[in-house]
Structure 1
């Protein structure tokens, strides 16, 4: 019995092992199926994504093409509508001409070729004129295009007039189909290339400026023209030639500045300085009756060496061209018409008996006895003629600086008005 039981136990164990193997095989099969299904699902998703991406690319390409077209139309509305008119005019014009030639018993193929010759010739000349724009004259091309268009328009008009006897306006429409698009294309191709209103205004102002330059400064204009003709073409600009010519003629690089203007300014400053040293009327000094001869206390201008030339030049002229002190001092020393002060030599202090020098303020150069003597003689001559001694007359006599003339005049007047002393005659 024990052997039978063992056999049964072994058999049950074998059966259990087989069933366990079957279960494992089924699990493995199910897992494999699951993995295969997952892989298939992933492949389907990948294919769907790829198809969607392909569709997106196609949509993007169509949108880009459409965007280029709409963008071109938006950026070039005139050109777009001209192209539309061209397409809508050429087809009716050619059809009308073919019909007209066919009604005239012209062979159909020959009629098509003749119509294409007329319309195509007009548009060929229009295209050639557009290509020649800016490089050579376009008159020949434009005249040829208009002539070909006129011939085609005449054929269409005659055909429309006879074909539609009760609606003659159709003949005008058919004729316009041959010349309307040519006209619009001609305007688009050759129109709008001229100068703008602002450019015309600038050119007019520039021409007026050049005319006034030549009228007001003929000498400078002549020198500038010679400089331009002598230089290589384009090597020297007109403005640069004018600047150089102005410096050659007037000695300065500031446009508009001349020696005469400098002399006029300096003479005006000298007159102001002279008036500032004259006695003031009594009614200008109320409350000071004890001082019968008060003098104005305006500041006297300094001599030409302290920058009077730079003060002479207005800011607008100074900004228009570079100017330096050396250039102005060079003008002052080269016959500008301005009274040139003589350099004052160092002199020894005059003797004590000369009253005019003993009271010279500290730090100032003593007055020259010879100058004092000449001023005394001038004062005596003026007194004999009933005239008064002035700073301007002293400066004219000696050619000295204004402040030196003021001191000389004051010293001589003090001598002449000194109590107990006779005036020098």
Structure 2
């Protein structure tokens, strides 16, 4: 009996423990559900706050976009135009209806003509029509508006017949005439502003376009023969197949015979400068050691033509560059900026200066306005000689002037 009771107590204790665990589990589940509910509500509130913030930002963006000076001006002008039409049209209708009821369409027709012509000006600006078309439409629009304004003014003065004082009637007439003319004028000014705004939308691009046009004009004026040849190439080629710059490069080569910006005079001046530099470098390299070696070689092997290499070596004069008509001129490398071979040129005799050539150079200096204007190029062109001989003639005439 005692064992049964003991077993019963254990069963009751186990059931009580099971009930306690079940209650704790259910309490834990309820707490977890309440926590999840709170988190969901918190997330919903955050989502609602985010949505409200996004809507506020969207409204602010729309408001900012709508209230820009450009939009306010465009929409405000249209609003004023609508008000002017509403104020002027009834007076037009009443004026003509008072004459006869069948004249009712005249008022809207006159008022509408002014607005249709004003819209035509905007359409002409959009399509880039000739200027005379725009001014014709403007004249028609303002003529219709002026006619309607005169009718409204007369209608305002006629209000004295309905008990309005003369002063107030005149004010009414002036007001009706002002709004009748003001509507088309406001619309026209609006169109001018929009057209100017479109043309100056990209000032950097506009400045570049102006600079390019100025460059093309100056280049065509400076090199007219090349510009004419460029136009021939562009007209001869199929439309759009030849770029203007490519046509200019080809035209320059056809006319000048050289790449762009290079001419025969430029090449001649370059060769003259290279010859002068070669002569100066040759003179600068005559160090005492070099002269001693040249004298030693002359003593051992003898002079190489002329009246002795040692004399030429000791003269101390520049010996680079061409000599005369019978000697070697500028070598192939010398013409390209390379120093000519002076191993034989330094010992060759120089052609004596002719008195006739000197006299010709003196006359050339007189024609140019002084010996300082003499150059190897113009002396060479006047005499028809090599560059080295021209340099000697120029230096001789300059020396005479100094003496």
Among 218, 222, 226, the alignment partner of 1:216 is: 222
Structure 2 partner of 1:228: 234
Among 312, 318, 343, the alignment partner of 1:407 is: 343
Shift of 1:175: 0.9
Q: Distance in 1 between matches of 2:266 and 2:88?
A: 75
Structure 2 partner of 1:126: 118
Deviation string 1:59-106 (CA, Å, 9 cap, x unpaired) is x8xx9899868744536222111111022111111122234445x544
Q: How many residues align?
A: 268
Deviation string 1:32-84 (CA, Å, 9 cap, x unpaired) is xxxxxxxxxxxxxxxxx9xxx9xx99xx8xx9899868744536222111111
Does the aligned pair in 2 maintain the 1:156–1:171 contact within 8 Å? yes
Does the aligned pair in 1 maintain the 2:282–2:319 contact within 8 Å? no
Structure 2 partner of 1:94: 89
Does the aligned pair in 1 maintain the 2:319–2:346 contact within 8 Å? no
Does the aligned pair in 2 maintain the 1:90–1:177 contact within 8 Å? yes
Partner SS state of residue 234, structure 1: coil
Shift of 1:357: 12
Q: Distance in 2 between matches of 1:172 and 1:357?
A: 118
Does the aligned pair in 1 maintain the 2:309–2:346 contact within 8 Å? no
Does the aligned pair in 2 maintain the 1:395–1:405 contact within 8 Å? no
Change (3 A) 1:266 1:171: same
- Farther off after superposition, 77-86 or 155-164: 155-164
Partner SS state of residue 239, structure 2: coil
- The TM-score, its normalising length taken from structure 1, stands at 0.51
Does the aligned pair in 1 maintain the 2:149–2:180 contact within 8 Å? yes
Q: Which has the larger radius of gyration?
A: 1
Does the aligned pair in 1 maintain the 2:283–2:317 contact within 8 Å? no
User: Which of the two has greater helix per residue?
Assistant: 2
Structure 2 partner of 1:347: none
Change (3 A) 1:408 1:280: closer
Shift of 1:408: 1.9
Structure 1 partner of 2:328: 398
Does the aligned pair in 2 maintain the 1:356–1:411 contact within 8 Å? no
Change (3 A) 1:387 1:80: same
Change (3 A) 1:356 1:252: farther
Q: Distance in 1 between matches of 2:308 and 2:182?
A: 96
Q: Distance in 2 between matches of 1:68 and 1:387?
A: 88
Q: Distance in 2 between matches of 1:119 and 1:65?
A: 39
Shift of 1:276: 2.2
- The TM-score, its normalising length taken from structure 2, stands at 0.53
Among 115, 122, 139, the alignment partner of 2:107 is: 115
Change (3 A) 1:117 1:218: closer
Structure 1 partner of 2:154: 158
- Farther off after superposition, 123-132 or 87-96: 123-132
Shift of 1:388: 6.2
The reply to whether residue 256 of structure 1 matches residue 261 of structure 2 is yes
Q: Distance in 2 between matches of 1:79 and 1:87?
A: 13
Among 267, 274, 283, the alignment partner of 2:279 is: 274
- Structure 2 unaligned regions, length at least 5: 1-43, 160-164, 292-296, 350-403
